[in-house]
Amino acid sequence: MNRRTIVVANWKMNGNLNLVEEMSKRLNQVQLDESVDVIVCPSFPYLATMATKLTHKNVYLGAQNMNAQTKGAFTGEISTTMLQEFAVKYVILGHSERRSIYQETSVEIAQKVSAALNSGITPILCIGESADQRTAEQTETILAAQLQPVIDEIGIEKFNEVVIAYEPVWAIGTGKTASPEMAQATHQYIRQFLSANNTEIADKVPLLYGGSVNAQNCEALFAQPDIDGGLLGGASLKVDEFSQICSTVKGS
């Protein structure tokens, strides 16, 4: 099964208008493999500006979060209808920082996934285990517990419109990266878990790896059979490195 390769830039609470200008200019000129898509997810204040500057046909705008409600008295929140006005095509949901710092539950994240799909925005569903959980050999249990509420909420058939990003929490921003073999084994488990519900759908879902991905390790990681790209944090803030990663990644 050929799946598109996806490279996602998650700027988190970083960046400025200068980075928006420099990154968009570089990405508009980058040479991408025909089956590679790039998604840039800046902080909310920069969505409007970035939306006017991205012109490459395979580079899309994404958001870092959203509320499951379409409107209402939710101070500080962002709705899908707001994102749609800026041509946002993707949204990161369930990132480990949202789960740990803001105590978002897997059920709440599943509701957000449903809301995104209903608005025509592709959710990038993040899952991953902590260092203690991996040491205790609970990785598969944790990933299953994060995936099942989403399956229960939207049904397995809707996963053909979902991107999954596996990010081991212990590798995010730490400089530690799962070996290509370790990452592949976990991605294979994720696909097998989905296959238990629907093999055809499981084969279609893009599975991304995240956690200290950079120009030095991306090719080895993305060459694994069940790794279809990456969700990048720190490296996505570096114009030269991120554009290099995008241009060297090969599609499926």
Examine the residue annotation and report whether 241 is marked as an active-site residue of this protein.
Answer: no
Active-site annotation holder among 95, 104, 153, 187: 95
In this predicted structure, the answer to whether residue 60 has a pLDDT above a threshold of 80 is yes
What percentage of the chain exceeds 90 in pLDDT? 91
In this predicted structure, the answer to whether residue 252 has a pLDDT above a threshold of 80 is no
Please tell me the CATH superfamily of domain 5-248, with its number: Aldolase class I (3.20.20.70)
pLDDT for 178 = 83
Task: Enter the pTM of the model.
Answer: 0.96
Active-site annotation holder among 97, 104, 129, 167: 167
Q: What is the pLDDT of residues 27-55, one digit of tens each?
A: 999 999 999 999 999 999 999 999 999 99
End-to-end CA distance of the chain: 9
Residue 225 CA: distances (Å) to CA of 4, 32, 188, 202, 233: 12, 20, 9, 13, 23
What percentage of the chain exceeds 70 in pLDDT? 99
Examine the residue annotation and report whether 95 is marked as an active-site residue of this protein.
Answer: yes
